[in-house]
Chains A and B, each alone.
Chain A
Amino acid sequence: MALGKEGDARFFTTQKKGEMHELRMELHSSDRAIKVDAVKKVIASMTVGKDVSMLFTDVLKCVQTGNIELKKLVYLYLINYAKTQPELTLLAVNTFVKDASDANPLIRALAVRTMGCIRVDRITEYLCEPLSRALRDDDPYVRKTAAVCVAKLYDIAPDLVVERGFLETLHDLISDSNPSVVANGVAALSEIAETSGKDVMRISASVLQKLLAALNECTEWGQVFILDSLSKYTPADGREAEGIIERVTPRLQHANAAVVMSAVKVILSYMELMGSQNSDSIRALTRKLAPPLVTLLNSEPEIQYVALRNINLIVQKRPHILENEIKVFFCKYNDPIYVKMEKLEIIIKLVSEKNIEQVLLELKEYATEVDVDFVRKAVSAIGRCAVKLERAAERCIGVLLDLIQTKVNYVVQESVIVIKDIFRRYPNRYESIIATLCDNLDTLDEPLAKASMIWIIGEYAERIDNADELLDTFLETFEEEDPVVQLQLLTATVKCFLKDPDDTQDMVQRVLDMATEESDNPDLRDRGFIYWRLLSTDPEAAKMVVLGDKPVIEDDTFKLDPALLNVLIGQIATLSSVYHKPPEAFVIRRGAGTGTTNEDDDEEDEDDYEDENDVDGGADLLDMGGLSVNDQSQDDAAPGSRFEPTAPMNLVTGPEKSGGLEVLAGFRQYRNTIRLEMEINNVSANHVVAGLAVQLNKNAFGLSPSTQQVMCEPPAGPGGSGVAVIELVTTPNMLAPVPAGQPANPQVQVAIKNMTSGNVFYFAVNLNFEAIFSSDGAMERSSFIENWKSIDDRNELYATVGDLPSESVDIDLVQQKFQASNVFFIARRPVPNAEGQEVVYFSMRTVTDMEFLAELTFKQGVNACKICLKTENATYGLLAKKALEDLLRA
């Protein structure tokens, strides 16, 4: 092997000035070796993230070569930069087309493979011919590459794939004589079926036989593709299911864990269909499944982890499969922590009266290990065993007491927490150990442990001689405690008081005072008040409420909901089964066709727009609420004048407060200026309103008037009216900080002085958020997608707007309307699997640079719309959402 010192690493040396020029010269060299080296240097720069796109044409020239090594390098470069240089990529088309009919099948396949990776829509037209030939190529290597290429093309241009009949060709490939071709054909069809939501991967009886036959012959990966597609097939009846299972079971012996797990998935899903009359076969299958699952635990830790997460589901669904195998889940000392944690979960699920002895010894052993999280989980597992198995509860408690004796801080705390659960599960049975617990009060410093201990003290106050003293010590630090502890303290003290009113009257009074008067935690205050009223009005009722019987708890903390479990069993051997979440929870379908077709739509829409603008631009404006802007509207070139936003005018002050004026005010944006518009009706007897001075209080948007003096146009004498427009700008020093976690207040407080009368009056007006959307808030589709994905789901807001006016049901009109308010259209697409539903994406940015991304879902024939809004500026999210709702309703 050529592993000399002169490896590719030399290409990584930093690029000095002028090196680009040098590279360029080398790329044009007639010496092939120099050329190859130069391309390698370019690729090296690309790998470390340097921009070498300026060499595009130079690198492209190297593609015309017979040297396959050089060709591969150039193709690698092309794939990377084709997106940013679509025009130039077209220059390479000829080479691709030529290579696709090269005599060497490796080159033919290379050309098809690379073309598919270049996601430039204009290249797709050139791709179709070679692809269609490649799908029928004599050489299986070319055919298998072409099969995957159809899936690539579908991702860019689904319509083209359908139009050219590639789906049918792909379907034919399932009957191909070569197993690799079959495997890739199945993979491509399955993917298309999944993204399109259409049943393009129909499995008929003959297809089924072909798949089962190919299963024996194709590569390990191919087997996985085939098994996964089988798992989506529903057999006609129990007999067919059994027949397929029979063909699939040998796969359980495969060395590749992915094959084994996919086979397990098929078998488990089909077992459901076999029905109860087949209990013998089901039992036989159950026996067959256990050994391969156990064998997976001898693999690499990563595979073990995946297997354990899946086994967790399997033991919940079919506990019999592994009921006798609990020992294999005992942890090795040097297992990675993440494997140990998962094993522990399964141990708890498999624990029974038969094996509890062994399990307890094992858990006790773990509780002495080093890793804190693991130890805590082991301790809590002991408690969960006690809750699960009544007959073993006493032994579990014994072990916990032993552990408490070790005095290891976190072991003691965790023990206290689980003992509380045991008390709740078996009331009045194990209280003898309370004394031991009380000995360890000092060690408790975690809120949860403290709270548990306090709960125990309150619950069993009558059996603890000094319960009130114990509580008293906790009360000293009441104010510094965590809310959980405070709540428990409150309840425990009240319990204590109800059981022994004489000695604890002072204490309960003190707690109630602290809870209701000194705390700013609403939960605590509310509970305090409730107790207070209960105690003061009807102590007997208080007893019934506070000391009443509590429902018995069960160990269901980690059990999945049966419906979810069934979903997940169908998702064995997928990420879904690792996360224990349905795929919808983490897979965001971009859907087919967000790529090119929409871009075109987008442009067309804009064209439409301007047309309308020309036609009725001025006309519509005449209806605009009588504002004195008509004279300016003639040259109004702002797009979307049909939906020119108007300021929502609200009465903000009446004559009694403002010295005889009635004022309606509202915000809007006009020609990229935010303005506060006021309609002033002068109902006073003597004053004239002409010059006004304006001031704004600090507000959540940093708005302030650009000039303090404005005129009322026309000046309004007594009985007359006029309009005043205050132009606003945003400045950071006018910004009132919004407390974290609270929604921003839309209110803007305004002070106006009538310069003629000297009257000053105040009013507040809510900002309609769209008024501060910036006109440059449009976003690139790609950066929208990036941003959309990068924003945490927690910062997501939802709303459903019903009773929309008819024009808000038409997506095209909505787009125009939104655009006029600087809410910019990004893309729209039909929702896969849902007839008549369409989602539309919009972006908006405020003049203060806050970005908001929105997804609107419309359904045909329904005059409602779902809004999903994402933003990093969570505090302003509600405002933005409201703005969209208002726009839709307007």
Chain B
Amino acid sequence: MISMIMVLNQKGDIMISRQYRDDVGRAAADSFRLQVVAAKETGTEAPVKRIENCSFLYTRHLNMYFVALTRSNVNPALVFEYLFQLIKILKAYLGEEFDETAMRNNMTLIYELMDETMDFGYPQNCAVDVLRLYINLGTAKPQDEPEPSKLTSQITGAIDWRREGIRHKKNEVYIDVLESVNLLLSSTGNVLRNEVAGSVQMNTKLTGMPECKFGLNDKLVIEKDKEDRKPSVDIDDCTFHRCVRLGKFDADRTITFIPPDGEFELMRYRVTDNINLPFRIIPAVQESQNNTKVSIDLKVIANFSDQLFATHVVIKIPVPKNTSKTKIKHSFGRAKYEPEQQAIVWRVKRFAGKAQCIINAEVDLMPTVRSQPWSRPPINVEFQVPMFTGSGVHVRFLRVYDKSGYHTNRWVRYITKAGSYQIRI
């Protein structure tokens, strides 16, 4: 199991180190500093590094290294998941962008959290809401603090993600269906990869211990239900928050759960068939014979209903390193050459559905000594389309049952974003 967790800064100095087993020492930090931090290896070298039979598994947050050390044959996925959870917990306590200073300012809190979430190298309960109940920097008033025995049954209980006795004046559930469309088109226009990675985010404000049942237009469910003729989606695979009863899903594909209070990710899913691509992009990029010019023509078609519109559209068209001058013609938005990105970046705040746009750029190149050919990186597209799902997934129902039988308001939103949306040229 994990022997030690360290947090190092960019220079490799130890900011936090918590030893869970005594088979590794602080000296190990030195080998990590020398072989990984100093070598600036992150990014090219694997995140699992073995130095003298001590394994270092690490990930980064901003410029800090979160490192787990072990001498045993651990489950590496478990180690990484724990590191991610630890970072998530720290984000919840210290803010999304917590930095070195925040770490130093809250050192004892961090030790307390690390002590509570891991014992002898075995991860323990990492649910932020539960941790907050008893690790609270002394800010909670004593009367708010639950009875210790209640607290412990909460920490260890079967439903450790929700405490009992929650009350809300209004019972509401906000459901966000977020999709990111991944696309990889070859330069000849063939689809190499196309999939939607979706997630269902919930924000529940419900009283008591409500039992929820949730349904999407999942093809496997709808086919069983002959009367329902609505369009359905073939979901390749999905994963669920731990509150969902997996056994039940496996048996009849119903999604049932007692939700945590507040925000959480109910599920993730993956769809690869019949995807509606929000944008079609047709590029034509030509390099002149003598390597002095590149001419780019790009047609962009918004492939969704004209009732909708896309926002934050950014299209990055790569140009060679030795670009000297660009001449760009386009009908709307703003486009300019950004040398630090080595690309022409075209930004459109609002792109109406069914709209089309052509952008044309003439790029002059500086002569270079080395005639290394241009690697022609792919065009990269970013966008957001509200109230649209690339997969066609929609929420069919959310039923909430509670003893008190209250009424629940439900709000559903859909947003499709670009994941890695790339077109090779």
Contact = CB atoms under 8 A, between A and B. Distances in A.
A180 B47 contact: no
Interface stretch (A135-143, A680-688, A838-846, A850-858): A135-143
Contact of A49 (B26, B93, B106): B26
Nearest to B125: A219
Interface string B169-195: 000000000000000101000001100
Nearest to B239: A255
A303 B53 contact: no
Contact of A300 (B44, B80, B106, B240): B80
B50 A586 contact: yes
Interface residues of A, number: 120
B151 interface: yes
A406 B373 contact: yes
A575 B122 contact: no
B270 A43 contact: no
B84 A300 contact: yes
Contacts of B70: 575
B72 A587 contact: yes
A583 B115 contact: no
B219 interface: no
A254 B241 CA distance: 7
A574 B376 contact: no
Task: Please classify the interface of chain B as helix (H, G, I), strand (E, B), loop, or mixed, using the class held by over half of its residues.
Answer: mixed
A295 interface: yes
B122 A187 contact: yes
Interface in B133-150: 134, 137-139, 148-149
A371 B70 CA distance: 31
A9 B84 CA distance: 24
A332 B420 contact: yes
Contacts of B13: 48
B422 A333 contact: yes
A132 interface: no
Given A47-B107, A255-B241, A368-B373, A116 B120 contact: yes
A576 B76 CA distance: 9
B83 to A, nearest CB: 8
A258 B241 contact: no
Given A72-B112, A191-B1, A255 B107 contact: no
Contact of B246 (A221, A254, A406): A254
Contact of B45 (A250, A328, A338): A338
A333 B381 CA distance: 13
A583 B270 contact: no
B250 A249 contact: yes
A256 interface: yes
Interface string A135-159: 0000111101100110110010000
A116 B20 CA distance: 11
B148 A574 contact: no
A211 to B, nearest CB: 14
A301 B115 CA distance: 27
A332 B270 contact: no
Given A250-B250, A571-B73, A588-B53, A119 B22 contact: yes
Task: Please classify the interface of chain A as helix (H, G, I), strand (E, B), loop, or mixed, using the class held by over half of its residues.
Answer: helix
A302 interface: yes
Contacts of A76: 111, 115
B158 A179 contact: yes
Contacts of B186: 361, 365
A306 B81 CA distance: 11
Contact of A253 (B26, B138, B151, B240): B240
B242 A255 contact: yes
Nearest to B23: A590
A148 B119 CA distance: 7
A48 B14 contact: yes
B111 A43 contact: yes
Residue of B27, B193, B375 with most partner-chain A CB within 10 A? B375
B372 A408 contact: yes
Contacts of A362: 192
A302 B45 CA distance: 11
Given A255-B239, A301-B47, A330 B105 contact: no
A155 B20 CA distance: 12
Residue of A43, A181, A221, A590 with most partner-chain B CB within 10 A? A221
Interface string B286-300: 000000000000000
Interface string B83-97: 010000000011100
B53 A40 contact: no
B137 A786 contact: no
B417 to A, nearest CB: 14
Contact of A334 (B126, B160, B420): B420
Contacts of B193: 327-328, 330
Contact of A69 (B84, B138, B149, B153): B138
Contacts of A142: 152
Contacts of A421: none
A109 B151 CA distance: 13
B373 A250 contact: no
Interface string B1-35: 10000000000011111011111011100000000
Contacts of B268: 255, 295, 298
Nearest to A294: B237
B184 A330 contact: yes
A119 B249 CA distance: 46
A361 to B, nearest CB: 6
A261 B77 contact: yes
A337 B44 contact: yes
Nearest to A367: B375
Interface in A309-349: 327-328, 330, 332-334, 336-338
Nearest to A48: B14
B73 A295 contact: no
B119 A145 contact: yes
A537 to B, nearest CB: 52
A292 B375 contact: no
Interface string A57-69: 0000000000001
Given A181-B156, A228-B75, A336 B81 contact: no
B71 interface: yes
A579 interface: yes
A116 B119 CA distance: 10
Nearest to B95: A3
A247 B376 CA distance: 49
Contacts of B80: 257-258, 300, 302-303, 306
Contacts of B308: none
Interface string A204-225: 0000000000001111110011
15 contacts: A1-B137, A47-B107, A80-B19, A109-B152, A140-B156, A187-B1, A216-B246, A257-B77, A302-B80, A330-B193, A333-B377, A333-B378, A336-B44, A338-B43, A368-B376
Given A8-B109, A362-B192, 17 more contacts: A1-B93, A3-B105, A48-B14, A105-B149, A113-B119, A145-B119, A148-B122, A216-B246, A217-B158, A255-B241, A260-B239, A261-B77, A301-B47, A306-B80, A328-B193, A333-B422, A573-B77
Interface of B: 1, 13-17, 19-23, 25-27, 43-48, 50, 52-55, 57, 59, 70-78, 80-82, 84, 93-95, 101-102, 104-109, 111-112, 115, 119-120, 122-126, 134, 137-139, 148-149, 151-153, 155-158, 160, 184, 186, 192-193, 197, 236-242, 245-247, 249-250, 265, 267-268, 270, 371-373, 375-378, 380, 420, 422, 424
Of all A-B residue pairs in the complex, the 10 with the closest CB atoms, nearest first, are A7-B105, A291-B237, A141-B152, A250-B246, A250-B250, A258-B78, A180-B156, A258-B77, A9-B104, A583-B73
Interface of A: 1-3, 7-9, 11-12, 40, 43-44, 47-49, 69, 72-73, 76, 79-80, 83, 104-106, 109, 113, 116-117, 119, 139-142, 144-145, 148-149, 151-152, 155, 178-181, 184, 187, 191, 216-221, 224-225, 228, 247, 249-251, 253-258, 260-262, 291-292, 294-295, 298, 300-303, 305-307, 327-328, 330, 332-334, 336-338, 358, 361-362, 365, 368-371, 373, 406-408, 571, 573-576, 578-579, 583, 586-588, 590, 786, 789-793
